[in-house]
């Protein structure tokens, strides 16, 4: 009986220990920017969908290409006949038949097949674009979340300063040294800080949810971010970015692919004026119950036909119309490509200028922060000497905190502009370096 009690107690203790362990939260994981991007590329649902779509395009291209590969069919056309033996397809009824076909020379079909193959390559470009979008979106979210978390730390300190200012002001108002308006102003400052904290906490939750989804993390998984900057290799390269964009920009690459596809189609349709050649072979096993011997002089059970089928177009209204349509589509594709090049060139230059503006704004914010820090240091020294009061010091700390957040905002805006510029120039992979 005692042994039974010990067993029950041990089981209860083990259950309690297991429950306690389950109740413990998973420790946060440390994420660098590079590791975050690697996880996003591995787990992104958007990339998986784009990869499937690229695979579907490849399979569709193989269907068009199949006409130029060997095709072997077996079947049967057995059935009752009354009168001359024939089937709806024009072939003689047979117990068993084998058909072999293979296109040898058919330029319209060849052009259509190459067009679809080029469209499959365009789908791979879209896959690369989705990869770039995931890198840009994840990097931006990572950098913004780091900024938001730092800003929240500053705001919580700012809340302490606002609390002290309110306490001092209320005390002085009670002594008749301050107007009620000053108390209201101090209360307003504290309320504004609390409002900003709530706004940033909401944004922090949104960004954390987005990153967990992109990285494939659990809904409750916590993570810490390293204070990463964009790598030096991600810096803009001036006018050279325009040349890089002409080669790496997704819109330009898609437009170039579309021009190639339309050229294949145009050349193929023009080839419709030439003859087509197809390898054909048919074997048929015939039956006497179809009354072949009543309509033909001799009956042969096994029949084999092998050769080529050649068609020479003399006049084809369809070919003329198809060539005209393909020519128009080609001209539209070429015009679209030139338009995309001009648009991307202007966009790169615009975003390069914006990045320079963000550099200037960041430098202004840095100097304002430095000035606020020096002001706090000076007031702190005066406070220790009894030349100023605590409220002035805390107000200076509030100003310093605001300047800190302005500097963080300017830094993030510059990083965001840099990511956008690199993506436009097709150089977003440099963020991974």
pLDDT tens-digit map of 279-289: 999 999 988 88
For residues 404 and 377, the answer to whether their CB atoms sit within 8 Å is no
Answer yes or no: is pLDDT of 202 > 90: yes
Q: DSSP per residue over 158-192, as a string?
A: HHHHHHHHHHHHHHHHHTTSS-HHHHHHHHHHHHH
Percentage of the chain with pLDDT > 70? 92
d(CA 429, CA 234): 9
Q: Report the SS3 class of residue 285.
A: strand
Retrieve residue 217's tokens.
Answer: 């993390």
Average pLDDT, the chain: 86
Kindly report the backbone phi and psi dihedral angles of residue 231, in degrees, each rounded to the nearest multiple of 5, phi listed first. -60, 155
pTM of the prediction? 0.81
pLDDT grade, residue 238 (50/70/90)? Answer: low
Exposure on the CB side of residue 375, measured as CA atoms within 13 A: 17
d(CA 375, CA 403): 12
Answer yes or no: is pLDDT of 136 > 80: yes
Dump pLDDT digits (tens) for 333-366.
999 999 999 999 999 999 999 999 999 999 999 9
- pLDDT at residue 237 in the model: 56
Answer yes or no: is pLDDT of 22 > 50: no
For residues 246 and 117, the answer to whether their CB atoms sit within 8 Å is no
With a CB cutoff of 8 Å and minimum separation 6, the contacts of 53 are 123, 126, 127
- pLDDT at residue 233 in the model: 55
Answer yes or no: is pLDDT of 3 > 50: no
Retrieve residue 327's tokens.
Answer: 């020519």
The more confident residue out of 298 and 18 is: 298
Answer yes or no: is pLDDT of 224 > 70: yes
Answer yes or no: is pLDDT of 29 > 50: yes
Q: How many CB atoms lie within 10 A of CB 43?
A: 15
- Calculate ∠ Cα 327-331-333, nearest 5°: 115
Q: How many CB atoms lie within 10 A of CB 312?
A: 8
Answer yes or no: is pLDDT of 235 > 70: no
Chain centroid to Cα 53, Å, comes to 13
pLDDT grade, residue 11 (50/70/90)? Answer: very low
The more confident residue out of 239 and 190 is: 190
DSSP code, position 235: S
């Amino acid at each position: 009986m005692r042994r039974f009690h010990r067993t029950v107690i041990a089981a209860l203790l083990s259950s309690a220990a297991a429950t306690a362990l389950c109740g413990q939260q998973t420790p946060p994981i440390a994420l660098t920017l590079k590791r975050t991007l690697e996880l996003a590329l591995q787990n992104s649902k958007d990339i998986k969908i784009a990869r499937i779509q690229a695979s579907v395009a490849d399979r569709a291209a193989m269907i068009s290409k199949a006409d130029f590969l060997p095709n072997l069919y077996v079947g049967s056309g057995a059935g009752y006949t009354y009168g001359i033996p024939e089937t709806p397809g024009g072939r003689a009824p047979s117990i068993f038949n084998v058909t072999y076909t293979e296109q040898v020379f058919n330029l319209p079909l060849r052009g259509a097949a190459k067009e679809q193959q080029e469209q499959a390559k365009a789908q791979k470009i879209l896959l690369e674009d989705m990869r770039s979008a995931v890198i840009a979106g994840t990097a931006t979210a990572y950098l913004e979340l780091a900024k938001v978390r730092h800003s929240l730390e500053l705001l919580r300190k700012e809340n302490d300063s606002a609390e002290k200012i309110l306490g001092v002001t209320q005390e002085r108002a009670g002594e008749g040294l301050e107007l009620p308006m000053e108390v209201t102003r101090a209360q307003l400052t504290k309320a504004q800080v609390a409002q900003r904290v709530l706004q940033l906490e909401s944004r922090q939750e949104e960004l954390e949810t987005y990153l967990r989804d992109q990285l494939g993390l659990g809904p409750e998984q916590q993570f810490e971010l390293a204070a990463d900057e964009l790598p030096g290799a991600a810096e803009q390269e001036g006018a050279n970015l325009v040349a890089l964009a002409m080669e790496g920009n997704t819109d330009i690459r898609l437009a170039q692919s579309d021009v190639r596809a339309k050229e294949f189609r145009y050349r193929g349709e023009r080839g419709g004026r030439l003859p087509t050649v197809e390898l054909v072979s048919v074997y048929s096993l015939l039956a006497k119950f179809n009354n072949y011997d009543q309509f033909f002089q001799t009956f042969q059970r096994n029949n084999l036909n092998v050769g080529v089928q050649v068609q020479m177009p003399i006049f084809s209204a369809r070919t003329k119309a198809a060539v005209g349509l393909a020519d128009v589509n080609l001209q539209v594709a070429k015009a679209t490509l030139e338009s995309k090049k001009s648009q991307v060139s202007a966009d790169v230059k615009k975003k390069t200028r914006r990045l320079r503006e963000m550099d200037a704004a960041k430098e202004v914010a840095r100097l304002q922060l430095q000035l606020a820090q020096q002001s706090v240091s000076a007031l702190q020294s005066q406070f220790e000497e009894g030349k100023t009061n605590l409220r002035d010091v805390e107000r200076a700390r509030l100003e310093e905190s605001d300047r800190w957040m302005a500097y963080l905002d300017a830094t993030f805006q510059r990083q965001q502009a840099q990511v956008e510029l690199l993506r436009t120039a097709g150089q977003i992979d440099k963020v991974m370096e």
